[in-house]
Amino acid sequence: MTRVLGVEGTAWCASAAVFDVETDDVLIESDAYAPASGGIHPREAAEHMREAVPSVVEDVLETVREEYGPPAEALDAVAFSRGPGLGPCLRIVGTAARALAGSLDVPLVGVNHMVAHLEIGRHRSGFDSPVCLNASGANAHVLGYRDGRYRVLGETMDTGVGNAIDKFTRHVGWSHPGGPKVEAHARDGEYVELPYVVKGMDFSFAGITSAAKQAVDDGVPVDDVCRGLEETVFAMLTEVSERALSLTGTDELVLGGGVGQNARLRGMLSTMCEERGADFYAPEARFLRDNAGMIAVLGAKMYEAGDTVAVDESRVRPDFRPDQVPVTWRDGAGVAAPAPDDERVQGAEAVVEFDPPEQVDKRRLPKSYRHAELDDRLRRRRTRTEARLTSEARRLGVPTPVVYDVDPPEGRLRLEYVGGADLRDALTESRIRAVGRHLARCHEAGFVHGDPTPRNVRVGRPGDAAAEGRVYLIDFGLGYYTDDVEDYAMDLHVFEGAVGGTADDAAELLSAFEDAYATVGDERVVEQLREIEGRGRYQ
């Protein structure tokens, strides 16, 4: 029988919990910090933790005494949030956890807060290997399990989703937290257009927040701006979640993070999964917002796997990325890609029906989770863009399909049938190098692919001497014209993130990819790629 005490305090919520493995019961006591005005101030949050952590811990210990007996006999370990989070808050929680473990004479377990959001969803749902969308105040990312770690398949490139919403609500004078207020006002609003920024499986909220502020300043009703903000931000998160499902081949999605309490976001994700035949699970609200229950649950799994930490090695890590955590508590290499269908393939955006050996019919499906006006605009724009940039890349000597016909209102394209497999299913160094050269040629001509994942690279048919060595770029729908080195580096970032989340020997492959890119492209792009990598939400 295993019981673990968990302590949480990464930013705003002081929380303690006890998890009983045998009964699956989780008792949580929490005391949230609510600033009088503005957002969370690190010093004030730390002062709250200093006062509240001892109180919530003692409340939980009292329950342990009543239900199970003396804590030193009833508890097997103490788990705590090691990061990511605000340094002053984490240090208070870490100190409390070390003192508890010492007084109880039990092992200490250091838990990654964001992995705990994923694992509580996996635990409560019973899913085997889901993709997880984490949508919280300071973070927003999509995780998938591969080869002993959770890989970041996509993430925000500027601010967390909750913080983005809070910046808007502070601008209009609303108190923290802003998310529930936006949700309430959006119910009475009409959709207004705001920037929609998805780059492969990465995304950006800064421009949306700025546009929403400006819209209110220009006199657009605040209810309408709230509706546009929800429809845009949550559609972006749902789209990248679907891309992650398509890339990994899994049919399970879990939601984590406090923003996951929003009914519109949960509804979008549920609709998307239902339409593609996937299972979706959102934990109850107490496990979505910051809480010690998820820390205790993951802490118990880590304890039973022998994954504890010595007190002198238990320093907190404010920038603790989830992909830095060795996953010791579960087996398996991750989900496997599904076997391809010779007649029909459903990707994240479109259905492709094959008419080999000559042509394919591609149709961008209407997405009922998106607002109809937004969906129609995206489908038309992406269909036109794909036709134009596919043809332009081909003129540069980059292998792409021939475009035979295009119908933007219907989201349809008639294309040459190329390749025999996705690069995802046939990764080799020579093919990776070819992708690097192809992207460099596109960038030299002034445009980006926009979504260069291994699903959007096709390799020649085995046995076809003329085509076997060819590597084709497909699906330029998220591409655009630009002369910005940052945009070119983002193209590389998208590709490398997707390969890193699906390949066993990613480091060697990506080194070859960058080397090949540099032989054709601008060396400043790879330099900018390093800068982008350092911008991740946990760096």
CA distance 383 to 381: 6
Q: Kindly name the residue from 20, 76, 451, 491 that is annotated as catalytic.
A: 451
CA distance 353 to 414: 10
- Type of residue found at 11: A
- Please say whether the dihedral angle defined by the alpha carbons of residues 258, 262, 268 and 270, taken in this order, is positive or negative: positive
Of the candidates 276, 270, 269, 271, the residue with the CA atom closest to the CA atom of residue 248: 276
**Interior CA angle at 506 toward 504 and 432, to 5°?**
115
Radius of gyration of the chain (CA): 24
Query: Do 250 and 144 contact (CB within 8 A), yes or no?
Result: yes
Q: What is the DSSP letter of 476?
A: -
515 is catalytic: no
Helix (H) or strand (E) holding 152: strand 149-155
- Type of residue found at 519: T
Of the candidates 94, 18, 115, 111, the residue with the CA atom closest to the CA atom of residue 311: 94
CA distance 455 to 493: 15
Q: What is the DSSP letter of 135?
A: E
CA distance 530 to 521: 16
- Please say whether the dihedral angle defined by the alpha carbons of residues 373, 374, 376 and 380, taken in this order, is positive or negative: positive
What are the phi and psi torsion angles at 325 (to 5°)? Answer: -95, 115
Active site residue ranges: 451
